[in-house]
Structure 1
Amino acid sequence: MNVIMPQLGETVLEGMVANWYKKVGDKVEADESLFDVETDKVTSEIPTPVAGVLTEILVAAGTTVKVGTVLAIIREEGSTSEVTAAPASENVVAAVARPAIAGNSAQIQSRMPERSNDAQVRLSPVVRRLLGENGLSPEQVTGTGNNGRITREDVLAYLASKPSRLDKTAAPLSRHTAATTQPVLSAPQPVAVSVGKDDLVLPLNKIRRATASHMVRSKTTTPHAVQAVEVDFQAVDKARQAVGKEWKEREGYSLTYMPFIVRAVCDAIGKYPYINSSFGNDELIVHKRVHLGIAVDVNFEGLLATVVRDADHRNLRGLAAEINRLASAARRNQLKPDELAGGTYTISNSGTFGTLFSTSIINQPQAAILSADGVRKKPVVIEGPDGDVIAIRPIGILAQSFDHRAFDGAYSASFLRYLKEIIENRDWLNEI
């Protein structure tokens, strides 16, 4: 069986084989860790697809290849036939100088071309992007990784040692641009920061850099608008309090507000389908399936949007289980490729930190994102048959940032109003 480079996300076209857990000749079991794949967003541990013997490793650790490239060959248990792989070199980024070589990983690395010939192929996606953004070539940076491979820290260290480089290159770049293109408005360059002797300079990890890049791209390409509603979570709280202790003992985790919000969002999208869309080139792509992204903080190092697939086909109990499973896997760095790809609408749960109101940045290429902020007891006016009364209720704010190109404020507001009605009026105890 051919082991191929998996698709780690809908926009990811390549990945770097960061590490092999097995060597040629080793016996492997199904679902046993086989290798790590690194992209600019996440490092994923890829399991063995079948049980058998690892007969060939075609792509060495540290090599970046396109999705679908054959990385290794496993002879399945009970099979005596030989498996022939498609030439890996056709799919290798800045292809290697010779065909893939069978043998253990140490032999492969010793037979790989010298760095001057395969510098590009041994660059991870994040390193390649760093070099490109700063106009550097691999030859300018001294690598400290295995076999001289350039790491992200190597590039950042080089940039830190050249503080005046941006000023020197800015003028020639401007002249070239003016000579070859029409004048356009460009995003302002970051203000230069002077580093004091007591300041701590921390290189950004790959998740933090990917998050930063995505947020800037979203804000500069999408006209964000924000609306919010106050929601009374009394009906939700009654259900949580009725089953909370039993739920925790049986399931092993607490029943939070999030599954209720997700369930209500799915129903509201059914009535307002444009919320579950993406803005394309002069067209609105309305997604039939609801794949809800749940933004998960990874130990303050960045955000990952885990995806609950076909969320509208799951009941409350199923949503709670899947949300908890994905969040746990994200924090243990054990997410599978499909669990980060294909989201159509995202919910940011900053309410776990007690926030009052958040304006989230849209997760591209989606059209909207919902922020679920903290729920706290507040005095509110309740309209009753005998007049208004003041009561203490659990109140939280749901705020939606949306792409104003995709739909207008009236549509977004109607969605939020309907979402509020569902949360406040549903008999949630019957849903559990």
Structure 2
Amino acid sequence: MARFELKLPKMGESVAEATITSWLKEVGDTIELDEAIVEIATDKVDSEVPSEVEGTLIEILYQKDDVVAVGETIAIIETEVGTNAVEAKPKAEIATETPKEVTEVEKSIEKATEIVSTPISKTSDSGKFYSPLVRNIAQTESISMQELESISGTGKEGRVTKEDILSYIENKGKAPQKTATPAAIKVETPKQIEKTIAKPAPVSVNGEDEIIEMSRMGKLIAKHMVNSVVTSAHVQSFIEIDVTNIVKWREKVKDAFFNREGEKLTYTPILMQAVATTIKKYPLINIAIDGDNIIKKKNINLGMAAALPDGNLIVPVIKNADQLNLVGMTKVVNDLASRARKNALKPDDIQGGTYTVTNVGGFGSVMGTPIINQPQVAILALGAIRKMPAVIETPDGDFIGIRQKMFVSHSYDHRVVNGALGGMFINTLKEILEAWDPNQDF
């Protein structure tokens, strides 16, 4: 017999931890290969963890609602053959240990368990933000939040970088932590200090008010949005686009498109294809920031904000969107939207996005000012398509006509995207959409 350690799998480059939402198996249950054992939730999607071996579940190391770091062992499965397994310690060897040694081992296990089950939070009481990589290193090296806050950060706005914490670990115990020199001390303005120490205003509740606890995903989305506003310097540009030719073309071909492809043709894939084409012309929109470095993304992976049954939003990703024709884009968009409504998205479906598009027009909004989906640097909001009176220029003069128009809002991070790039991007998108040929085939 052998013992197999079931570990929390890696679920994407930006996912460092997950919450145990429910155990599907109990201790003593027989486990089949690829059988789901536990349900987990990240700040992006809910998922199941399957077993990599056959055997019997003999130990559960984390309980419901515990937060677990990626790569940590969450359960032990006893197997017949020990491939990738950890052999159990022989009973004879355990019996030779003295009670004192057993006590010491138990204390060590308790201490390690306490450290692992209490992960470093993203932000400290003082408001400092720590990246998933820094938090994982701190947790692995048993560095407490108080100790982590004592490390002087060299990153942007004094953040602790990977190099900072590794340097601290290397020098730990050799020499006292260096104190920043007066020249290196960052002076904060009164407004920054006030923001750091500000406390939420107290809320009065009377007997007629209803208290509704935020859902787990609601809490995660709230933190993600606040973090984005604090991280990025949000700036917006707006433009109005005449989509009359697209509306006429879609009305003309949508039935034939469905009969041939078996897919409903909405405006979303048409607009997504135009966005991907525009990004290809302006690759510096398709970037991310890592400290003082800009990461230029090779692939164009479009995030598509979609509504969940509980009213929250999720952002499935269209991978390599610039390589899809309209038929391919339609199939991917419809598939992701359908599985989002059914809560059937997989972790990989919401990973790797480089630019996000949200359709605020689907809720009747004319325009919106969306918050950037970190670590991206821009997001596009599509407003409702409406019939509008417009001035139409012709060789015989100008006249007033009815046109189908929409507003597009572009939010971008002013740290790396200036107004010229942000404005040119949506102006090029406008040119692509307004040049649509209403007589083309699909």
User: TM-score when scaled to structure 1?
Assistant: 0.71
> Aligned-pair distance for 1:74?
8.3
Which position in structure 2 is the counterpart of 1:274? 284
Which position in structure 2 is the counterpart of 1:65? 68
Tell whether the 8 Å contact from 1:376 to 1:394 is kept in structure 2 after alignment: yes
Tell whether the 8 Å contact from 1:229 to 1:416 is kept in structure 2 after alignment: yes
Corresponding position: 1:53 with 2:54: yes
In structure 2, what residue type is equivalent to 1:68? G
SS at match of 1:396: strand
SS at match of 1:415: helix
Which position in structure 2 is the counterpart of 1:146? none
> Aligned-pair distance for 1:203?
1.0
> Aligned-pair distance for 1:283?
3.1
1:213-362 → structure 2 map (5 Å cutoff)? 213-248=223-258, 254-299=264-309, 301-362=311-372
Tell whether the 8 Å contact from 1:291 to 1:344 is kept in structure 2 after alignment: yes
Q: Which one is further off, 8-17 or 416-425?
A: 8-17
CA 411–116 in structure 1, closer or farther in 2 if over 3 Å, else same: closer
| Identical-pair percentage | 36
> Aligned-pair distance for 1:398?
1.0
Which position in structure 1 is the counterpart of 2:9? 6
Which position in structure 1 is the counterpart of 2:417? 407
Q: Which one is further off, 401-410 or 62-71?
A: 62-71
Tell whether the 8 Å contact from 2:59 to 2:77 is kept in structure 1 after alignment: no
1:82-97 → structure 2 map (5 Å cutoff)? 82-85=82-85
In structure 1, what residue type is equivalent to 2:14? T
Deviations along 1:332-365, one digit per CA (max 9) or x if unpaired, are: 2222111122211000111111111101111111
CA 26–241 in structure 1, closer or farther in 2 if over 3 Å, else same: farther
- Inter-partner Cα distance in structure 2 for 1:423 and 1:130: 41
Tell whether the 8 Å contact from 1:42 to 1:206 is kept in structure 2 after alignment: no
CA 130–214 in structure 1, closer or farther in 2 if over 3 Å, else same: closer
Tell whether the 8 Å contact from 1:57 to 1:71 is kept in structure 2 after alignment: no
SS at match of 2:316: strand
- Inter-partner Cα distance in structure 2 for 1:414 and 1:263: 18
- Inter-partner Cα distance in structure 1 for 2:436 and 2:258: 23
- Inter-partner Cα distance in structure 2 for 1:239 and 1:13: 45
CA 134–333 in structure 1, closer or farther in 2 if over 3 Å, else same: farther
In structure 1, what residue type is equivalent to 2:85? A
Q: Which runs of 5+ in 1 are unaligned?
A: 89-112, 136-179
Deviations along 1:211-247, one digit per CA (max 9) or x if unpaired, are: 1111111112211111111111122223321232344
Q: CA RMSD in A?
A: 3.6
Task: Give aligned pairs, total.
Answer: 356
User: TM-score when scaled to structure 2?
Assistant: 0.70
Tell whether the 8 Å contact from 1:207 to 1:303 is kept in structure 2 after alignment: no
- Inter-partner Cα distance in structure 1 for 2:313 and 2:280: 27
- Which of 205, 208, 212 is matched with 2:215 structurally? 205
> Aligned-pair distance for 1:408?
1.3
Tell whether the 8 Å contact from 1:5 to 1:71 is kept in structure 2 after alignment: yes
Q: Which runs of 5+ in 2 are unaligned?
A: 89-107, 128-184
> Aligned-pair distance for 1:277?
1.0
CA 431–207 in structure 1, closer or farther in 2 if over 3 Å, else same: farther
- Inter-partner Cα distance in structure 1 for 2:257 and 2:22: 40
Which position in structure 1 is the counterpart of 2:202? 192
Deviations along 1:256-299, one digit per CA (max 9) or x if unpaired, are: 21111110111111111111112333332221111111112223
